[in-house]
Amino acid sequence: MSKLSYFNLPDVGEGLTEAEIVSWKVKLGDTVAINDVLVEIETAKSIVELPSPYAGMVAQLMVAEGDTVDVGTPIIAIGSEVSAPAAAPAAVSAAPAAPEDDVMKPLVGSGPKADAVKRRPRVGSPTAVVSPVTDVAPAAPAAKAPAQVPASSIPTQVKPAPKSNRVLAKPPVRKAAKDLGIDLNEVSATGLRGEVTKKDLLSYQDQRTAEQDGAGTFWAPATGSGLADDPRIERIKVKGVRKATAKAMVESAFSAPHVSIFVDVDASRTMEFVKRLKVSRDFEGIKVSPLLILAKAVIWAAARNPSVNATWTGDEIIIKHFMNLGIAAATPRGLMVPNIKDAQNLSLKELAIALNLLATTARAGKTQPADMQGGSLTVTNIGALGIDTGTPIINPGEVAIVAFGTIKLKPWVLDGEVIPRWITTLGGSFDHRVVDGDLSARFMADVAAILEEPALLLD
């Protein structure tokens, strides 16, 4: 008789208590080897693939797709011998209790193998620096399977960028995009070299078509009262990233006293600098935007005003002598804030590559939990949506966030004359327990100074 080994839902190193079963990658009767992907789960921060700690035949799938279960709940049983699969129980509660020796202890850092985020190795920084104040549950050792190293922590060499200043795509894809009237800049690329694939294009077209078709059918016939029992009311369960984001924003808004300030900036020289970078041989194949200069400006300004790169604990203020720069990213699963580890050590070119990789990974839904931990200061690029400015909410564990507004040609007084210039508005929110008005003003003025004259970065 086959001996069953039960795999419990692990804590994947985030300190979370539950996860949703998104999709099973195996079915009853399948034969699996150690480290074969069993299931894809969604936590409050990311989608993670769980590898098998056992080899054998899938005997039971104990949780249905779409169900949310607590960490430690048995989700699958694997037989040690290849035999006929056992009948799956009707509910989790009907599953037999797993012997103590066969219960799989939580795996830490388990994640997707094929889609892992690749980072280029950094001199003098073999491992990512993680803020000591990040609230992460202690890691538990794996009992049966060898410990797995998170893919995102393995230094890998970045592939040379292809020779192109445009969005990367093969000629047939470009032709199809032109025929469909699709701007390739709006399509999320998932190709190995960051190129837009035919699959990416078709997926975008399907989404666009669905949105257009749904626009005329959104309003339902007037058959209800408008009250809670009205059949025209749609209810969306709050879970995953949306649930975690809501909790974090409420905690931040009502625990940290926010103060916001704004500054208009003449970014004309930044626009000229970006234009030169786009045609530079050193930046061939690398997407360059004004966000790159803003990111460098924030890093530069934080070094001059260290208290904005800090954490408030109640008993002490922790100043971080490193910059894990968070970039707020809108994804199909909701708002995420992955961060670029040790951004202060990156050259302008390396920072551009890191920004592109971060955006591509986030849009593909492959951002890993480790990439969202240990942030020190955040930038949100609301200008990409055509918004002038806003009052962003500080990311929990940080004391400052900068909102980058859209850059527009506007009338501007220069040397006594009104001329058209590229103008943007920066909005900054600060935790007033740490950052006083004078400090926040000096920090924002320093950021603005770089956008007005990027050559100051050479000092």
Measured distance CA(202)–CA(335) in Å, rounded: 24
- pLDDT tens-digit map of 149-163: 444 343 444 444 444
Which residues make beta-bridge pairs with 121? Answer: none
Each residue's pLDDT tens digit, 236-257 = 777 776 777 777 778 777 778 8
CB 9 within 8 A of CB 75: yes
Q: What is the pLDDT of residues 409-443, one digit of tens each?
A: 999 999 999 999 999 999 999 999 999 999 999 99
CB-based burial label for 209 (10 Å; 0-12, 13-18, 19+): exposed
CB 45 within 8 Å of CB 241: yes
Query: CA-CA distance, 86 to 3, in Å (whole number)?
Result: 11
Catalytic machinery residues: 432
Question: Is residue 334 predicted with pLDDT exceeding 90?
Answer: no
Phi, psi (5° rounding) for residue 298?
-65, -45
Q: What's the pLDDT tens digit per position in 282-298? A: 999 899 999 999 999 99
pLDDT over 70, % of the chain:
76
Q: Beta strands 417-431 and 408-414: pairing type?
A: antiparallel
Pairing status of strand 377-380 against strand 400-404: parallel
Distances (CA, A) of 127 to 45, 154, 198, 349: 21, 8, 36, 21
Q: Which has more confidence, 416 or 139?
A: 416
Q: Which residues contact 431 (CB under 8 A, 6 or more apart)?
A: 256, 257, 258, 312, 394, 398, 399, 400
- For 168-227, what is each residue's pLDDT tens digit? 888 788 888 888 888 888 887 877 777 888 888 888 887 777 666 656 677 777 776 667
- Indicate if the pLDDT at residue 1 is higher than 60: no
The model's confidence at residue 392, banded by pLDDT at 50, 70 and 90, is: very high
Residue 450 phi/psi, 5° resolution? Answer: -70, -40
Beta bridge partners, 423, equal 266, 408
Phi and psi, residue 403, nearest 5°: -100, 125
Mean pLDDT of 60-89: 76
pLDDT reported for residue 226: 63
Q: What DSSP state is assigned to residue 125?
A: B
One-letter amino acid at 290 equals P
Q: Which one-letter amino acid corresponds to residue 302?
A: A
- Residues with Cβ within 8 Å of 146's Cβ and at least 6 positions away in sequence, in order, are none
**Of 264, 398, 238, nearest in space to 325 by CA:** 398
SS3 for 427? strand
Contact 357, 193 (CB under 8 A): no
Closest CA to 381 of 399, 361, 355: 355
Using only the alpha carbons of the chain, give its radius of gyration. Answer: 25
What is the per-residue pLDDT for 175?
A: 82
By the 8 A CB rule, do 426 and 381 touch?
no
